[in-house]
Amino acid sequence: MVGFDLNPVYELIIDDLVKRKYAISDCFFSEAEVRILRNHLLLKQERENFKKAAIGKSFNEQIAKEVRGDFILWMDEGEADQVEQLFFDKIHHLIDYLNRTCYLGICESEFHYARYPEGTFYQRHLDVFQNDDRRTLSLVFYLNDENWQADYGGELALFLAAENGVESELKIQPLAGRMAIFDSKTIEHEVKRVKQQRYSITGWLKTR
Ligand code: OGA
Ligand code: MN
């Protein structure tokens, strides 16, 4: 390709996305950036009100609790502070790269902080709404501390269709600094019950 530098981290992500519709990257942010983002999330949590996440207008609160138990705070890019600007700069860099190399036509994004208290989960679902299918790629950045243990649960499970029609379940541990990225329109997924508070930034890259 002429005129711009190949980014090896992005190239691996794109390869996997094309082949399997999902990718995992453990080096999208540096370790230092992960620490900064995590501390920022913890600070936000102290100062601002994370709200019980909703699942659409037709559900009552009891049902919502049986579907998802996380608390979220939407990020406002227009009001981004220094740390959030670092985050959005990286995201825009990725979006530009995806649009240039894969012609995805991403023109919008939305992100929120998320906290899953002990005992909560998010049942199997798709990230697109019935009346709005602009979400194209789902991104989750895990901001747990470096000592996250396998027995804390909280895996992201992706339900993948094999060629023979048999479905498989891929479990991804929410390790500090890890990014999961997958096709919003086709990959059903869930968050397994957590035994320890679980932190992330989750968001979507959208088309028009
Ligand atoms: C979501 C979601 C996955 C995760 O917020 O829609 O599926 O691993 N999150 O937190
Ligand atoms: Mn989801």
**156 pairs with which residues across the strands?**
172, 191
Question: Is 87 close to ligand 1, i.e. is its CB under 6 Å away?
Answer: no
Q: Distance from the CA of 190 to the center of ligand 1, in angstroms?
A: 7
Distance, in Å, from the CA atom of 35 to the CA atom of 42, rounded to the nearest integer, reads 11
Q: State the distance from the centre of ligand 1 to the C-alpha of 171, rounded, in angstroms.
A: 13
pLDDT at position 1 is: 52
Q: Lowest-confidence range among 21-35, 101-115, 158-172? A: 158-172
94 membership: H or E segment, kind and range: helix 82-102
**How far is 153 from 171, CA to CA, in rounded Å?**
10
CB hemisphere CA count around 176 (13 angstroms): 17
| Whether the Cβ atoms of residue 66 and residue 123 lie closer than 8 Å to each other | yes
Model pTM score: 0.94
Tokens encoding 140: 């989750």
Under the banding of pLDDT at 50, 70 and 90, the label for residue 130 is confident
| pLDDT for 159 beyond 60 | yes
Average pLDDT, integer, range 148-165: 94
* Ligand 1, atom 7, residue with closest C-alpha: 190
pLDDT (0 to 100) of residue 119 = 97
pLDDT score of 164: 85
DSSP collapsed to 3 states, 8-62: HHHHHHHHHHHHHCEEEECCCCCHHHHHHHHHHHHHHHHHCCCEECCCCCCCCHH
pLDDT of residue 59: 55
How does residue 28 score in pLDDT terms, banded at 50, 70 and 90? very high
Ligand 1 pocket test target in 120, 138, 205 with most atoms within 8 Å of CB: 138
**Residue 60 pLDDT:** 63
* In the block, residue with structure tokens 């060629």: 163
Give CA–CA dist 200/141, Å, rounded: 5
> What domains sit in the chain, N to C, each tagged with a CATH number?
8-54+65-206 (2.60.120.620)
The pLDDT of residue 27 is 93
Q: Which of 2-6, 40-44, 153-157, 179-183 has the lowest mean pLDDT?
A: 2-6
Question: What dihedral do alpha carbons 185, 191, 197, 202 form, nearest 10°?
Answer: -10
pLDDT value for 194: 98
Does 127 contact ligand 1 (Cβ within 6 A)?
Answer: yes
**Who has greater pLDDT, 2 or 26?**
26
CA–chain centroid gap for 170, Å, is: 16
